[in-house]
Chain A
Amino acid sequence: MGANVDLSVRIGNGTLANPVGVASGTFGYGGEYEGLVDFSDIGAIYTKAVTLEPRGGNAPPRLVETPSGILNSIGLANVGVEKFISDKLPYLRTLPCAVVVNVAGASEDEYRRVVERLESGCLDSVDTNGSGIFGYEVNVSCPNVHHGGLAFGTDPAQVERLTSSLRELTKRPLIIKLTPNVTDIAVVAKAAEAGGADAVSLINTLVGMVIDVKTRKPVLGAKTGGLSGPAVRPVGVALTCKARRAVSIPIIGMGGISCADDALQYILAGASAVQIGTANFVNPKTAGLVSSGIREYCIGNGISSLKEICGVAVD
């Protein structure tokens, strides 16, 4: 019976019962998918990036489809931490899945103030985790903003400093989200580990551009955007493998996952958990289908815990 398969994942001092989450920026603040998904099928919802102040995002057009993928230049369009706490968190708290807040900022100070505000603003709750927040995913990898984001994520020294600075502020699981837009992701993953991260997640989107040959101009208002979807999966799997060799903290893998086999590739490459991004747009129920597919794979192959197969393709 399926009940014998242990799919749980430990991240820092927290445990996710189900390793399949929905990726930041693709599931809003959860409520948008009300009625379309059963949140108990989802391991964790990683929120849209939360910054100190609300942000409107980049000039449209913001989306264009590419071969087996999409290119987006949303930017960090979000309601800001105050509205997040007052308008979004109450709903998120009612969900049966873990809530990981994706945090972004233009400076170390901004990242700190967002985490501080969430830690102080939410502790009054009676939730098991104290706030309804499972942990933080620190976005040091957004390719769609000029300051912060990617600027942090490509410099290992800054990643280590930011991580240790945020580590002082919270005991909750701290996940650093890495960009694939670097020469050597191993160095950046090591920096996050050295700074005290509980896990690294990867990959964020790859910088790309689409040009309209009729107008002879880039299609996206921001000119460049971030590539995601099935097209990037082999890149994500390879980088998961590279990060696995570099660090001993858990890796949360993502990039182009649309079915259980895709997710298993990440797990076999060394990921302990996974996230579904672009595939949610194709079918909002993807995360549930992926987690039940992983369970079936385990049952069919006599695997009692995902840990048995984590990284075996490359160890």
Chain B
Amino acid sequence: MKISCVTTFLMCGNFDNTLAHNLFYVNMETPTQFISRIISNDRISEGFFELSLSWDPRAPVPMPGQFMTVRVGSLAVPLLRRPFAFAGFDADSSSAAIIYQKRGAGTELLAAARPGDELDVIGPLGTPFVIDTDQSKHVIIAGGIGLGPMLFLSSALKSRNIPARFIFGCRNKSLVPDTKMFTDADPQICTDDGSAGFRGTVADYINTNVSLDNSTTIYACGPSPMLTSVNKIAQSSGARCQVSLEAVMACGVGACMGCAVPVVGGGYARVCKEGPVFDGGEVLWERM
């Protein structure tokens, strides 16, 4: 099934490096809970799967960076709903996609789900990436389970005819996804062992191959160490940087205060409500 980006997409002409853009979206459309049906659920690389599911047409349209929570199974283990970022949305067929990694009990169960199975879904949740239309260079960086949301963002930029570089980092060749969604993004692959693409981390690649300046915006999602170094590079080059963060979640809607991350200026922000997309400058990286 083809997943493309919707046309009703958020753009922001003068994105300034403050919390304001996030606060602006805090009271977006309210999320919906519904029973979705799995359309496909296929392995795309070692331990990674792409799942596409029906999206209730009455629910708000998901945007790149936003996520949903899924009740996996119906027993007390695993108990909490699991959060997953959208990897795509197709308005014509009203279907959404996620890319996930098998990590523990919840994702193990999800990987065993078959087309036609039902999933209890709440979404869309959290803040989306804001496309920085006043910038001339766009660099998208994805690592590990950060792949899904960045592919969604990449297709959104493409549909707007905004050129962007897509850089994907993983440990080795076995983790390079075999999917149309991925090749469509025209990715620069970086592997730690050099078994595919560039040898080294995405940070190494940017340092040696990408010129960054204050007309660049970087959008990144991936493991915390990757985001920390990407943010550092952005800061020193004057590039803007939006990152999507992760935290263990209970409610996913801003009620429990469980997903707190430390922010500059003191206190915490909720990944599920003020995030998951933050301006790199908002996050107190030393305490992450």
Interface residues of A (CB under 8 A from B): 25-28, 32-36, 48, 56-57, 59-65, 67-70, 72, 74, 77, 229-231, 258, 278, 280-285
Contacts and interface: CB of A to CB of B under 8 A. Distances in A.
B255 A35 contact: no
Given A64-B248, A70-B250, A282 B71 contact: yes
B77 A68 contact: yes
Interface string B112-123: 000000001010
A145 B257 CA distance: 15
Contact residue range for chain B? Answer: 20 to 34
B249 interface: yes
B43 to A, nearest CB: 25
Given A57-B260, A61-B248, A77 B79 contact: no
Contact of B260 (A65, A77, A283): A77
Q: Which 3 pairs, one residue from A and one from B, show the smallest C-beta to C-beta distance?
A: A35-B30, A28-B255, A32-B255
Contacts, number: 105
27 contacts: A28-B251, A28-B254, A28-B255, A33-B255, A34-B30, A35-B31, A36-B30, A36-B32, A36-B253, A48-B257, A56-B266, A56-B267, A57-B260, A59-B287, A62-B248, A63-B248, A63-B258, A74-B256, A77-B268, A229-B76, A231-B76, A280-B251, A281-B81, A282-B81, A283-B71, A284-B33, A284-B122
A281 B76 contact: no
Interface string B256-288: 111111100011100001000000000000010
Contact of A60 (B78, B80, B260, B266): B260
A293 B32 CA distance: 23
A72 B30 contact: no
B257 A60 contact: no
B210 interface: no
Contact of B78 (A65, A72, A258, A284): A65
B162 interface: no
B11 to A, nearest CB: 25
A67 B78 CA distance: 8
B19 interface: no
Given A26-B256, A32-B255, A282-B71, A63 B79 contact: no
A284 B253 CA distance: 10
A60 B81 CA distance: 19
Contacts of B31: 35-36
B12 interface: no
A56 B265 CA distance: 12
Nearest to A284: B33
Contacts of B79: 65, 68-70, 229-230, 278, 282
A306 B252 CA distance: 34
Nearest to B251: A281
Nearest to B258: A63
A23 B261 CA distance: 24
A72 B257 CA distance: 10
Nearest to A35: B30
